[in-house]
């Protein structure tokens, strides 16, 4: 039995077992004790890890009621022809799907898109008529008015807003004219609501703004997801950037604000900490291998089912009905880090997960290549170990909050 020995720039080493994510901070003289402890707990940890990696249970549907969007973000993984010419589901069609989901044990429906608020009357009716389901809405916010927010808050709906830069000029360039001002308004509407989150898509126009973004949102937004742009489309690939240094700076800024009473959690980083401390408590599923696509969640668009929203531009993955979709998406569930040559022996493989299959497939025509953002993930995960060792994880992980917030995955 051997453990990987990682030097993350601290006094001692990180001893890590990549199969179970058992880890210890120790020096060479303590190695034997660490190994003894590992031997005692290995089987139990492995059992838990295999369950959380391979269990197939669709609890969540990301539902694109419309293909259409009122914006045109340059990196969007939904193809432009769909956003410009697409259709919107009819009420009977949507209701028939929602009835089926209830029968199949789905618990969460997240209205996603393209832009779900274009069909706000339809989705609000559905929220009223299917009170057995839990709902979320991920929106650019352009069409979100104060009474809409009140409606959503009254029903305990999770609200996610996209917001890329604390600078008006950059925000309006990336997300559409007037977006910055609209987001400022939405922040006021949602003030104090704990089921509120923001997604920042990191790209080459905003990666130097991440710390300022944290400054702006601290104390106002409980969870901020800072996702590196995926190269699912050519335009996405052009906007990719190695932002590890800036992301780490943003993480440190968030920790400082939280220490000073203006709490904010960067969800992606929190998920890495969970991957190391308690892998089966991970909330986001992109860094689990295989990821959650077609395993923990599924995506429904106007023309059928896809493993995840990021696949919506890839017609070859479309399946017509729910049961066949879950079966067919074994193709995506088969993409494990063990099957990727560059990842197979990587010590961080079960913390990173080598995301994302849709991105890798779009770029290389195969699932079995490592993530194009490999270096970024390595640096960020090494930092996660440093934060753990110095004890600052307690300013990030408020487990109950995170679990509640993202309990749909
Ligand atoms: C596709 S949009 C759909 C919902 C809504 N229109 C919105 O913008 O929030 C959902 C999220 O995906 C993000 N997104 C779009 N394309 C992306 C890409 N290539 N890589 C990473 N995130 C992306 C958006 O920034 C947004 O936060
Ligand atoms: S990211 Fe959202 S708002 Fe932007 S173009 Fe895509 S669907 Fe529209
Ligand atoms: S993408 Fe890179 S960091 Fe992630 S598992 Fe593969 S080799 Fe490791």
Kind and range of the H or E run holding 10: none
Per-residue pLDDT tens over the stretch 50-91: 999 999 999 999 999 999 999 999 999 999 999 999 999 999
Residues forming beta bridges with residue 224, ordered by sequence position: 198, 266
39 pLDDT exceeds 60? yes
Amino acid 174: pLDDT = 98
Amino acid 1: pLDDT = 77
Taking the CA of 348 as reference, the closest ligand is: 3
Q: In what order do the strands lie in the sheet with 13-17?
A: 4-6, 13-17, 22-26
Taking the CA of 175 as reference, the closest ligand is: 2
Per-residue pLDDT tens over the stretch 274-310: 999 999 999 899 999 999 999 999 999 999 999 999 9
Q: Is 31 a domain residue?
A: yes
Q: How far is the CA of 62 from the centre of ligand 3 (A)?
A: 27
Q: Which of 20, 24, 23 is nearest to 45 (CA)?
A: 20
Quote the domain boundaries for residue 12: 4-54
146-154 and 120-129 helices, crossing angle to 10°: 20
Q: How far is the CA of 52 from the centre of ligand 3 (A)?
A: 19
Q: How far is the CA of 179 from the centre of ligand 2 (A)?
A: 12
Taking the CA of 138 as reference, the closest ligand is: 1
Amino acid 82: pLDDT = 93
398 pLDDT exceeds 80? no
187 pLDDT exceeds 50? yes
**How much is the average pLDDT of 227-237?**
95
Per-residue pLDDT tens over the stretch 120-134: 999 999 999 999 999
Q: State whether residue 147 is helix, strand or coil.
A: helix
Q: How far is the CA of 343 from the centre of ligand 3 (A)?
A: 5
Report phi then psi at 26, rounded to 5. Answer: -155, 165
Q: Is 160 a domain residue?
A: no
Q: How far is the CA of 113 from the centre of ligand 2 (A)?
A: 7
Which residues have CB under 6 Å of ligand 1?
69, 73, 75-78, 112-115, 138-140, 162, 199, 201, 227, 229-230, 232, 236
CB hemisphere CA count around 398 (13 angstroms): 13
Q: How far apart are CA 5 and CA 31, in angstroms?
A: 10
Q: State whether residue 400 is helix, strand or coil.
A: helix
Q: How many domains does the chain have?
A: 1
Q: Is 34 a domain residue?
A: yes
Per-residue pLDDT tens over the stretch 328-385: 999 999 999 999 999 999 999 999 999 999 999 999 999 999 999 999 999 999 999 9
Average pLDDT, the chain: 95
- Tell which atom from ligand 2 comes closest to the C-alpha of 69: 8
400 pLDDT exceeds 90? no
Q: Which of 166, 162, 110 is nearest to 136 (CA)?
A: 110
Q: Is 137 a domain residue?
A: no
374-389 and 267-277 helices, crossing angle to 10°: 70
Amino acid 405: pLDDT = 43
Question: Which residue is listed with tokens 């880090």?
Answer: 337
4 pLDDT exceeds 60? yes
35 pLDDT exceeds 70? yes
Q: Is 35 a domain residue?
A: yes
118 pLDDT exceeds 70? yes
Amino acid 399: pLDDT = 53
Q: Is 265 a domain residue?
A: no
| Structure token digits, residue 381 | 């995960």
From atom 7 of ligand 3, which residue's Cα is the shortest distance away? 343
**How much is the average pLDDT of 241-258?**
98
409 pLDDT exceeds 50? no
Amino acid 117: pLDDT = 98
Nearest-Å Rg of the Cα atoms of the chain is 21
From atom 17 of ligand 1, which residue's Cα is the shortest distance away? 76
Q: Is 293 a domain residue?
A: no
From atom 2 of ligand 3, which residue's Cα is the shortest distance away? 374
Taking the CA of 309 as reference, the closest ligand is: 1
Q: Is 164 a domain residue?
A: no
Question: Which residue is listed with tokens 């809409």?
Answer: 148
């Amino acid at each position: 039995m051997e453990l990987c020995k990682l030097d993350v720039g601290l006094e001692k080493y990180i001893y890590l077992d990549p199969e179970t994510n058992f880890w210890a901070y120790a020096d060479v003289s303590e190695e034997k004790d660490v190994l003894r402890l590992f031997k005692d707990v290995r089987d139990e940890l492995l059992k838990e890890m295999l369950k959380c990696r391979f269990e197939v249970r669709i609890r969540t549907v990301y539902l694109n009621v419309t293909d259409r969007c009122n914006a045109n973000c340059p990196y969007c993984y939904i193809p432009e022809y769909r956003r410009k010419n697409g259709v919107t589901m009819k009420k009977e069609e949507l209701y028939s799907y929602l009835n089926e989901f209830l029968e199949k044990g789905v618990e969460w429906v997240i209205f996603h898109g393209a832009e779900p608020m274009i069909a706000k009357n339809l989705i609000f009716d559905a929220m009223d008529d299917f009170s057995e389901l839990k709902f979320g809405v991920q929106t650019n916010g352009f069409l979100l008015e104060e009474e809409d927010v009140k409606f959503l808050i009254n029903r305990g709906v999770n609200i996610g807003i996209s917001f890329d830069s604390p600078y008006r000029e950059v925000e309006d360039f990336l997300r559409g004219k007037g977006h910055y001002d609209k987001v400022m308004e939405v922040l006021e509407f949602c003030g104090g609501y704990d089921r509120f989150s923001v997604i920042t898509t990191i790209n080459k126009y905003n990666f130097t703004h991440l710390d300022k973004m944290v400054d702006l949102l601290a104390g106002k937004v409980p969870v901020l997801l800072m996702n590196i742009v995926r190269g699912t489309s050519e335009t996405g690939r052009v906007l990719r950037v190695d932002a590890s240094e800036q992301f780490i700076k943003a993480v440190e800024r968030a920790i400082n604000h939280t220490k000073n009473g203006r709490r904010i959690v960067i969800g992606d980083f929190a998920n890495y900490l969970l991957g190391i401390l308690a892998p089966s408590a991970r909330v986001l599923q992109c860094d689990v291998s295989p990821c959650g696509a077609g395993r923990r969640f599924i995506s429904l668009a106007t023309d059928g089912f896809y493993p995840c929203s990021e696949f919506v531009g890839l017609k070859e993955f479309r399946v017509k009905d729910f049961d066949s979709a879950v079966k067919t998406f074994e193709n995506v569930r088969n993409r494990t880090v063990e099957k990727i040559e560059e990842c197979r022996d990587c010590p961080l493989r079960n913390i990173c997960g080598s995301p994302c299959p849709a991105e890798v497939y779009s770029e290389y025509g195969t699932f079995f290549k490592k993530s194009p953002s490999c270096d970024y993930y390595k640096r960020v995960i090494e930092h996660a170990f440093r934060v753990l060792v110095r004890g600052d994880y307690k300013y990030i992980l408020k487990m109950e909050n995170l679990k509640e917030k993202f309990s749909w995955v």
